[in-house]
Amino acid sequence: MQERPTAPVSVVLPTREWTDACAEVAAQTAPDDEFVIACDSPHDPVVEAAAETAATVVVAGEPAGCSAKCNALAAGIERATHDRLVCTDADFRHGDEWLATVRRRLAALPEGHVLSTAPILVSEGALGKLLEPLSAVGVASSVRFNTGVWGGTMAFRRGDIDVDGFVDDLRRTVGDDALLAERAEGIETARSLVREMPVDGTLRETLSRRVRWTRMGLYLDPTGIASRMLTALAVLLGALLAPFVTVPLVTGVTAAAYAALGHRRWTFLLAVPGYALSLTCLCYGLAHDEFEWTGRRYRWTALYDVTVCDRTERDRPAE
């Protein structure tokens, strides 16, 4: 029997700052819903900002042996009470119909499945622009074959996964979305929930993200890592040996992915150099196990072996 699309949900959002996304989600939650914001400290700016809303704030504390996001997400899920859980992030625009779409798709979800989507990375930075085409191709593939889980939109019913086990494992790793994918019997990747996620595209931020993503793939999807490396290598060799075939073909496939997603950016023209850059980033990610993420530096040497090295200088509280 199909569930009612109007059944209440618990929306869990880990963040230290109140953003436009927080306001969007707060406006879309119904009186019977829960909006749980999970942060690190009672002094985080989001605590005061959320006091003006119906959101419930959970203070997770400092992370130990996991990322701050995973630590906060675990605390938020523990606080949530409804059967249907929706996890999201504060760093992208959700749009007015985001939660309504999640409700509708979640109500029709097969037993044992989770609902998610994939983000298209957009940037005004040079490195970020070069990597945009690969993001769009990856998203189009995830939507077509239902392979993607993204922390920005993860929805499931308590009976569909081992929630207690998921929460326990969140507190000893980094990749919340890849961890959920491992626990689901099936994934529904919704095209209607695809969103653009802005990134700054600086060298420092790009390398840190690639180390984190490469490590996540290495521990949970090594076949996918090998496939991405071989694809990038094939494009690079093709561009060198048969440029008049490879460049139009790769650019055309990327343009088709942009069109399928309704993504209107000129950056599809950068697909070939983007693949070359991605190969370099992938090698860098395999060679390094330390990265920065939202104000902290981590060392990630195995799926359940995470060291919180320190807060970065730009995030260190004033004395």
pLDDT at 28 over 50: yes
Mean pLDDT computed over every residue of the chain = 93
Q: What Å distances lie between residue 87 and 31, 137, 159, 177, 186, CA to CA?
A: 18, 24, 16, 10, 17
What percentage of the chain exceeds 90 in pLDDT? 90
Q: From CA 176, how far away is CA 86, in angstroms rounded?
A: 13
Q: From CA 272, how far away is CA 50, in angstroms rounded?
A: 45
Residue 193 banded pLDDT, cuts 50, 70, 90: very high
* Each residue's pLDDT tens digit, 128-161: 999 999 999 999 999 999 988 999 999 999 999 9
* Each residue's pLDDT tens digit, 252-286: 999 999 999 999 999 999 999 999 999 999 999 99
Q: What is the pTM of this model?
A: 0.92
Give the burial class of 86: count Cβ atoms within 10 A of its Cβ; 0-12 exposed, 13-18 middle, 19 or more buried: buried
pLDDT at 229 over 70: yes
Q: Give me the pLDDT at residue 4, please.
A: 60
Q: What are phi and psi of 306, to 5 degrees?
A: -120, 130
Closest CA to 270 of 136, 137, 132, 125: 132
The residues facing 13 across adjacent strands are 37
Q: Give me the pLDDT at residue 254, please.
A: 97
Task: Classify 262 in phi/psi space as left (phi over 0), alpha (psi -120 to 50) or beta.
Answer: left
* Each residue's pLDDT tens digit, 29-86: 999 999 999 999 999 999 999 998 999 999 999 999 999 999 999 999 999 999 999 9
Q: From CA 215, how far away is CA 4, in angstroms rounded?
A: 39
> Which structure tokens are listed for 227?
């496939």
Residue 89 in contact with residue 37, Cβ under 8 Å? no
* Each residue's pLDDT tens digit, 214-223: 999 999 999 9
Q: What is the mean pLDDT of residues 295-302?
A: 95
